[in-house]
C-alpha cells in the first residue's frame, strides 16, 4: 500500500496512545478515520484532534469484548464512509498478577479484549476488505508476543495468540488484495500501565521493590509513560511498516534487540537483556513527531 489518502481506516483503542496517533497520522495523510474506543471521553478528545484535518471522521463507542457490537459495526462504517480499506486491531489491556491469583473472570476479561476482540473484528471486516483493490489488517501483538516474563501470563497468552492467528491469516490471504501485519511494540510511553488492573502480588514492580525510582503504582505509570518511545513515533513506524508490506513490524530498538535475544537463546533470552541497557540508553528516542 503506497499511501493512505482517500482510504478508510478503522482503528480500535483510538482514544489513547498508539491508536490515537494512528488516527491522527492517517487523517493527516488524507485518509478517513473510523475511531473506536470503550472510553467516551478520551475518544471525544481524539475526535477533536482528527477534525483538524479535512477528512471524514466517524466515532464509535465500542467495547471490543462485545461480539454483537463488533458484528454491527461494518454496516455503520459502510453507511457513513461507503467502504473500508484498513483495520487496525490496536485496543489492548494488561493485568499485572501471578497466574495463581488471577481469577477466572479476570483472565477471561483480558482474553476477550486482547484476543477475541482482534479475531471478531477480523471476522466482521474481512469480507469488506477482500472487496477492495488494496487493503490491510494490522493486528497489534507486542514484543511480549515473542518472549515472556513472570506475572503477565494472560497478557502473554493473548499476545502470542494474536501473533499465531495473524501469521496464519497472512498465509491464507497471501494471494488476495489484503495485506496482513503483526505489530510488536517495545516500550512505548502510553497510558497502558497507569490504567492497568493488578492484583496485590504484582502491585509493586521491581523499581518499587528495590526502593529505586517510582514509589507508588501511580508514579510507576507516570515513569513508564515518560521513558518510553513517544506513541506518535510508534504510530509512524507502524504506518511505514504497512507501506513497506512488512509482515512483522517491530517498534523500537528494544523490541528488535529482545527479538534477537530469543533467536540467540530461545529459552534463556532474559540473560542477554542486561547487555542491551547501554545501546538502549544511548539511542533512546522519546521525541514526538512534528505537528501531532
Ligand atoms: N505501550 C506499550 O509499551 C505497548 C507495548 C507492546 C504492545 N502494546 C499494545 O499496543 C496496543 C495499544 O496500547 P497503548 O500502549 O497505546 O495503550 P493505551 O492504554 O494508551 O491505549 C489503549 C486504548 O485501548 C482502549 N481500550 C481498552 N479496552 C478496550 C475495549 N474493551 N474496547 C475498546 N477499546 C478499549 C483504551 O480505552 C485506550 O484508549 C495494545 O494492544 C497494547 O497491548 C503496548
**For the segment 13-58, what is each residue's pLDDT rounded down to a tens digit?**
999 999 999 999 999 999 999 999 999 999 999 999 999 999 999 9
- Give residues with Cβ within 8 angstroms of 195, minimum separation 6: 93, 221
Which listed residue (53, 95, 128, 155) is catalytic? 155
| Residue 3 within any structural domain of the chain | no
| Residue 287 within any structural domain of the chain | no
| Residue 150 within any structural domain of the chain | yes
Q: How many CB atoms lie within 10 A of CB 69?
A: 17
- Looking at residue 291, its pLDDT comes to 59
- What the block records as the C-alpha cell of 185 is 511494540
Tell which one of 10, 11, 12, 13 to mutate to probe ligand 1, the residue whose CB is within 8 A of the most ligand atoms. 13
Give, in order, the Cα–Cα distances in Å from 191 to each of 44, 58, 121, 134, 210: 17, 23, 23, 33, 23
Domain range for residue 186?
Answer: 8-282
65 lines ligand 1 (CB under 6 A): yes
- What the block records as the C-alpha cell of 180 is 496482513
**For the segment 162-185, what is each residue's pLDDT rounded down to a tens digit?**
999 999 999 999 999 999 999 999
| Residue 292 within any structural domain of the chain | no
| Residue 290 within any structural domain of the chain | no
Give, in order, the Cα–Cα distances in Å from 207 to each of 164, 167, 194, 212: 32, 35, 15, 5
90 lines ligand 1 (CB under 6 A): yes
Q: CATH number of the domain that 225 lies in?
A: 3.40.50.720
- Which ligand 1 atom is nearest residue 186's CA? 5
Closest CA to 102 of 54, 59, 170, 150: 150
CA dihedral angle for residue 212, residue 252, residue 272, residue 181, rounded to 10 degrees: 130
| Total number of domains in the chain | 1
- Looking at residue 285, its pLDDT comes to 65
Q: Rounded distance, CA 246 to CA 137, Å?
A: 12
205 lines ligand 1 (CB under 6 A): no
- Cβ atoms of residues 159 and 145 within 8 Å: yes
Closest CA to 276 of 261, 291, 265, 290: 261
**For the segment 199-252, what is each residue's pLDDT rounded down to a tens digit?**
876 666 555 544 556 778 888 899 899 999 999 999 999 999 999 999 999 999
pTM recorded for the entire structure: 0.95
Give, in order, the Cα–Cα distances in Å from 212 to each of 133, 193, 198, 215, 274: 53, 18, 20, 8, 17
Active site residue 269: no
| Residue 277 within any structural domain of the chain | yes
Q: Rounded distance, CA 238 to CA 102, Å?
A: 32
| Residue 103 within any structural domain of the chain | yes
Q: How many CB atoms lie within 10 A of CB 104?
A: 7
| Residue 288 within any structural domain of the chain | no
Amino acid at each position: 500500500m503506497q499511501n493512505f489518502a482517500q482510504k478508510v481506516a478503522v482503528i480500535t483503542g483510538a482514544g489513547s496512545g498508539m491508536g490515537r496517533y494512528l488516527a491522527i497520522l492517517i487523517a493527516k495523510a488524507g485518509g478517513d478515520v473510523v475511531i473506536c474506543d470503550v472510553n467516551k471521553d478520551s475518544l471525544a478528545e481524539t475526535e477533536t484532534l482528527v477534525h483538524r484535518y479535512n477528512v471524514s471522521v466517524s466515532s464509535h463507542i465500542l467495547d471490543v469484548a462485545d461480539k454483537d457490537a463488533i458484528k454491527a459495526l461494518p454496516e455503520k462504517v459502510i453507511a457513513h464512509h461507503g467502504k473500508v480499506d484498513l483495520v487496525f486491531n490496536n485496543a489492548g489491556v494488561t493485568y499485572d498478577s501471578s497466574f495463581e491469583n488471577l481469577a477466572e473472570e479476570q483472565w477471561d476479561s483480558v482474553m476477550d479484549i486482547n484476543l477475541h476482540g482482534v479475531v471478531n473484528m477480523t471476522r466482521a471486516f474481512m469480507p469488506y476488505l477482500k472487496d477492495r483493490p488494496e487493503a490491510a489488517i494490522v493486528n497489534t501483538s507486542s514484543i511480549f508476543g515473542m518472549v515472556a516474563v513472570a506475572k503477565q501470563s494472560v497478557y502473554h497468552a493473548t499476545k502470542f495468540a494474536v501473533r499465531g492467528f495473524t501469521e496464519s491469516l497472512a498465509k491464507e490471504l497471501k494471494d488476495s488484495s489484503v495485506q496482513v501485519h503483526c505489530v510488536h511494540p517495545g516500550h512505548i510511553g502510553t497510558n497502558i500501565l497507569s490504567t492497568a488492573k493488578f492484583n496485590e502480588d504484582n502491585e509493586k514492580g521491581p523499581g518499587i521493590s528495590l526502593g529505586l525510582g517510582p514509589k507508588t503504582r501511580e508514579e510507576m505509570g507516570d515513569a513508564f509513560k515518560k521513558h518510553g518511545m513517544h506513541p506518535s513515533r510508534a504510530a509512524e513506524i507502524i504506518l511505514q511498516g504497512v507501506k513497506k508490506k512488512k509482515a512483522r513490524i517491530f517498534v523500537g530498538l528494544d523490541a528488535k534487540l529482545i527479538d534477537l535475544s530469543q533467536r540467540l537463546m530461545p529459552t534463556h533470552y532474559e540473560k542477554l537483556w542486561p547487555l542491551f541497557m547501554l545501546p538502549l540508553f544511548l539511542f533512546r528516542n522519546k521525541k514526538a513527531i512534528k505537528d501531532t
